[in-house]
Each structure stands twice: as structure tokens, then as C-alpha cells.
Amino acid sequence: MLRTFSISNYRGFDKLELTGLGRINLLVGLNNSGKTSVLEAVGLLASGGNLRQLWSAMSSRGEWLHREREPLRQDPGLALPYLFHGYQVDQGSTIELSSERSDGTAASLRLTIKEPPSPRPSEWQRPPSIRRFSQEGEEDPEPILGCLEISVGDRVGHQVPIMEGWGIAREDFGEPTGLPRTRDKDEVPVEIITTASMASTKLMAIVDSIQLTDEESRVLEALQLIEPRITNFRPTVTRGRGWAGGRHGVILKLQGVDAVLPIGTLGDGSWRILGLALALVAAKGGVLLVDEIDTGLHYEVMAKMWRLVFETAVRLDVQVFATSHSRDCYESLATIADPDASEERRIAIHRIEPGKGRAVLFTAQDIINAANRGIEVR
């Protein structure tokens, strides 16, 4: 479990340090203060520099590469300058992420722009299906400006070519063909819940994996926080149909109702709680990142939601990082805050303030005091 976390030269942060991290960490702050960027950075470090984490973060923000002379090919890639503080990159530009763990060990990750290696690795050769061609139909070799080197601790994990416009091509993020990479021995599971919740395809896969296990009954209990009449849930058999981002893929049985209901019938709250419960299961022994954790939830449900997240996180050894703008959200967190809790059960709020190099830490006692006295911590 991370005890501290430091960011250097990543997105809006020149420097940022978070201390006093606990089992549950709620990030608060003004719009555009960098809360989501902190989630991304934690995910990158915990995943050992998995480029799929970068792809997910950048594509969701629409950070596509735009070039004046666009070749006749689709998905030109994503632009690296968006990742670096000040949107400026050059040879030697480096993002550094580091942490101290509760067991006394340290972890670090560096993303550095370097000259391309010579000779170029064989995996940089493009297959015919994704080579560039000019308007005349002749092959148009892609200029290589450098490489993005991913270093985990003292070891280089992999190097990725940087193309014209300081971009990385889609295929070099490991999408969709897969990127061979060296896995760090300390890499842990990382699950991300965005404001749109979990994609239905992934949700169905996790529901499949927990059937006839103890976790199935616990996920059912989570759903009953929103609708107490739910007696059962299952993945649908209509796999592959519909939009992956929609609320579908799971059917429910309600007490006193003969018909089987799709989960989308019950609204956003049920979908959000189901996604949280399943993501906690999938993140066992790792990290869960949740953007706007209170999305779709009424304030009367939030205290129960926090209890669910906390108890499951302790049981499955998951460290949770979540963001919120809601006063109800952080005040309901006070219901599970314990000033005398051990480090493994610690709860904290971290306020991110633009331009400041250290997040403001609110301990469990601070959270309780703020809730009881109506003190603003956002």
C-alpha cells in the first residue's frame, strides 16, 4: 500500500506530493486542479508503466495527434506534449512518479524522451496494414523523432518510437494488437472507474468470473443498497450486442416481479454501485481509482457506499483513490472515519490546490470535525 506519492512534470503539476495516504483516499479541489491527473499518475506507477493505462487516459481526453501533413491512414496516434507540464517536450524531457510503501520499500517510474536507439529495434518495423502512403500511393516512411523510454526503478521496461509531431502511434500503445513489455515484479492490479462507470463488456466478464463464489453474494448485497428487492443478477446471453458504453449486460430478478429486468431499467445508481463492487473484486491486492465516486448516488446512499467500499477494500487488500466535488460525499466519509485506526485502515482526504507542491492532508479526526462543524474542506 502506498504511504506517500510524488509527481514531477506531469500534466498540470510541476511538483506535487501527497503524504499520509491510507486505505481510502478522497481527492478534492477546484475544477482543473488536477484530481483526475493524480488518479492517472497513481495508475501508471502501480501498473509498472503499462502503456494501456496511458492510452486509456489520453484517448478519453481526446488528446489525438494533429499534423499539418496528414497521411492516408486512420488513428494517427496521441500527442505526448499533453502529458508534460507546460505542454513542452524535447530530448531529455522526463516525467517522474515515485512513492514509499507501507512495508518500507520504494517504487518509481520515469517516462523520458530520448534519441532513438541505433539500430532501431525490429518491433518498430510497421506491418503493411499500417504503413503510411503518400497521395501518389508510394510508401511514405514515418520520421522517428526519438523514443519514449519507460523505466521502472533502475530498469528500463521498454522503448516506444516517437513520430512526427511528438506522437505515439496507436499500435505502439498496445492497441489493438498488444505490446510486448517487461512486467515489473511489483506490478499490481489496477482498476479504473470513470465518470461513465465501467464498460459493459468488462462488467460482464467480471460478473462471469464471480458466479458461484462468495463474492457473488457480496456484490448482491451492494446492489441491495440501491434496490432492496433485488434477489439475483446474471450476465445476459446477448453478448456483443449494443454499445459497449451503455448500461446493459446484466439482468436482475426482483422480489414480487415476474419479469427479468435489465439493470439499465433501475437507473444510474444501480449501475454505479455494481461497477464499484465488481471493480473492487477485480482489484484484489492492488489499486482502485474512481473518478467522481458519488456520480449517480443520492446522499442517503453515500454512507452505505463508503462502508461497502471500505470493508471490501480492507478484506481484499485494495487501496482506493477517488475524487469528488460533493460536500455530501466527504461528510458521509466521516461515518467510517476512525482516528485510532491502524495504517491499514486509515482514511484521508487530500485537497489539491493549483500551484502548490503539497496536497493538504485531512486526517480521520479532521474529517469528523469538518462534518460535525460544517467546515468546508473542498
Give the model's pLDDT for residue 5.
98
- Nearest Cα neighbor of 320 from 189, 163, 180 is 189
- Could you give the CA distance from residue 272 to residue 329 in angstroms, rounded to a whole number? 15
**What span, in angstroms and rounded, lies between the C-alpha atoms of 83 and 206?**
31
pLDDT at 142: 62
Break the chain into its structural domains and give their ranges: 48-187, 195-282
pTM of the predicted model as reported, rounded to 2 decimal places: 0.88
Q: What is the pLDDT of residue 28?
A: 96
Amino acid at 267: G
What averages of pLDDT result for each successive group of 10 residues across the chain (378 residues)? Answer: 97 96 96 94 91 86 72 67 93 96 93 87 60 52 80 85 84 52 62 82 84 90 91 74 59 91 85 91 95 89 93 96 93 94 94 94 94 85
**C-alpha neighbours within 13 Å on the C-beta side of residue 236:** 19
Phi, psi (rounded to 5 degrees) for 233: -150, 150
- The amino acid sitting at 109 is L
Strand partners, 360: 351
pLDDT at 172: 79
